[in-house]
């Protein structure tokens, strides 16, 4: 009996010792609450909340892949619009606390009702300005391509529609149109259309980068060497890229 009690006592002590030796620097993971995670349509706002962070705190929100996603963050909440179909992971970070959730976007366009339908305005005669920046996470590096049109379009909640076509270590971006919500759902005003593509990881070496806009194909390339990216892009109008060297 005494032997059995001694074994129990040692086991209890070992559990307590293990608990006390948890790395204090290790991130604490917790879930992110979402208003919905499935049956979401393109252009439909989804609300997220990271309850581990206090109200009014600054939470870092990220989405992977970051393909034409709009994040409107406010404290420990964020309203996110997904303009392309597919599966996404939404992550939140607040100090040592981290959380994420997955959502699935349907290949259909959101229309909350009111009798009207969205329209699609072609990008005829427009130009696309691309700004490139690097991203690095846990030693894995890549690029973020941010797009903005030269022209302005009606409704502040319009969406720039495009496809990302990956082929090996090459990328083709095909710009299609700007989705304009129905009159009933239009946020009054006009603004440039914008979007973004996040591409990672990217291996060292040569990569093709191609853009199709208004029926014209723009072809270029870039070389990655370590954390340096050097673009070859011979166009000064139509589709432009800045900067062309990223460290």
> What confidence tens digit (pLDDT) does each residue in 86-107 have?
899 999 988 888 899 999 999 8
Domain boundaries, the chain: 28-109, 122-246
Average pLDDT over residues 197-219: 93
Q: Is the pTM of this model over 0.75?
A: no
Tokens of 146: 């941010």
Q: Of 7-16, 61-70, 146-155, 233-242, which range is least confident?
A: 7-16
pLDDT score of 163: 86
Confidence of residue 85 (pLDDT cuts 50, 70, 90): confident
How far apart CA 145 and CA 68 sit, in angstroms, is 10
Cβ-based neighbours of 55, under 8 Å, separated by 6 or more: 75, 76
- In terms of pLDDT, which residue wins out, 4 or 104? 104
Give the CATH class of 28-109: mainly beta
């Amino acid at each position: 009996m005494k032997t059995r009690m001694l074994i129990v006592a040692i086991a209890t002590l070992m559990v307590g010792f293990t608990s006390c030796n948890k790395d204090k620097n290790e991130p604490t993971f917790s879930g992110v609450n979402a208003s919905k995670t499935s049956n979401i349509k393109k252009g439909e706002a989804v609300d997220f909340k990271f309850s581990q962070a206090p109200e009014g705190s600054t939470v870092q929100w990220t989405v992977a892949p970051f393909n034409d996603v709009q994040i409107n963050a406010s404290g420990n909440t964020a309203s996110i619009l997904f303009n392309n179909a597919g599966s996404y992971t939404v992550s939140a970070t607040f100090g040592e606390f981290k959380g994420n959730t997955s959502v699935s976007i349907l290949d259909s366009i959101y229309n909350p009702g009111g009798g009207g339908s969205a329209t699609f305005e072609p990008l005829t005669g427009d130009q696309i300005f691309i700004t490139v920046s690097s991203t690095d996470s846990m030693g894995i590096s890549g690029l973020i391509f941010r797009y903005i049109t030269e022209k302005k379009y009606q409704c502040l909640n319009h969406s720039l529609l495009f496809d990302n076509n990956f082929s090996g270590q090459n990328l083709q971006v095909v710009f299609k149109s700007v989705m304009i919500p129905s009159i009933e759902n239009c946020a009054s005003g006009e603004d440039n259309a914008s979007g973004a593509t996040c591409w990672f990881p990217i291996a060292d070496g040569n990569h093709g980068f191609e853009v199709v806009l208004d029926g014209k194909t723009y072809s270029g390339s870039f070389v990655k060497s370590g954390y340096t990216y050097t673009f070859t892009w011979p166009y000064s109008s139509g589709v432009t890229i800045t900067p062309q060297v990223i460290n």
